[in-house]
């Protein structure tokens, strides 16, 4: 089975660098499966799990938005944040979820709704990856 190098980097660190057979991401226009020799391109990513297929193993990584850059030699995900299941603190994600829900459900119109909505998406993404991982 042919493979390619997948790197996932955040402003803080390199989270992932492995040879993989396929990666599935959620772009602005929906899910996208990337196999070896994909045409080069750059496209934005949503807050969503990234699925990596490696031999017979499937891994999920919580990516908090960013960009995917498909190059000839490798695929790079430049992520706002990225965590492997083992790095996710479930209690922290649960409390971020509660906080965001309170802000979204509250009557305080002064609150930044978009900010709370994005925080909720990040928390739900982490909870989903942790539960499946």
**Site residues for ligand ATP per CB under 6 A:** 12, 64, 81, 83, 87-89, 92-93, 96, 119, 122, 126
**CB of 83 vs ligand ATP, minimal distance in Å:** 5
Measured from the CB atom, the residue of 68 and 82 that comes closer to ligand ATP is 82
**CB of 117 vs ligand ATP, minimal distance in Å:** 12
Measured from the CB atom, the residue of 59 and 83 that comes closer to ligand ATP is 83
**CB of 63 vs ligand ATP, minimal distance in Å:** 10
Measured from the CB atom, the residue of 73 and 105 that comes closer to ligand ATP is 105
Phi-psi region at 30: left, alpha or beta (left = phi > 0; alpha = psi -120 to 50)? left
| Tokens linked to 100 | 């965001």
**CB of 127 vs ligand ATP, minimal distance in Å:** 8
DSSP 35: -
| Tokens linked to 116 | 């709370």
- Could you tell me where the beta strands, DSSP code E, fall in the chain? 4-9, 14-20, 22-27, 30-34, 41-54, 57-70, 74-79, 82-83
Measured from the CB atom, the residue of 69 and 80 that comes closer to ligand ATP is 80
């Amino acid at each position: 089975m042919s493979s390619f190098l997948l790197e996932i980097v955040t402003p803080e660190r390199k989270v992932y660098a492995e040879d993989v057979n396929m990666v599935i991401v959620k772009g602005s226009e929906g899910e996208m499966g990337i196999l070896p020799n994909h045409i080069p391109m750059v496209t934005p990513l949503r807050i969503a799990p990234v699925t990596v297929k490696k031999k017979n193993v499937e891994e999920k990584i919580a990516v908090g938005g960013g960009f995917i850059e498909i190059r000839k030699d490798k695929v790079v995900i430049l992520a706002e944040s990225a965590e492997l299941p083992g790095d996710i603190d479930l209690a922290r994600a649960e409390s971020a979820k509660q906080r965001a829900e309170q802000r979204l459900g509250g009557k305080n119109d002064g609150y930044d709704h978009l900010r709370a909505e994005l925080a909720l998406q990040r928390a739900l993404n982490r909870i989903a990856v942790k539960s499946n991982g």
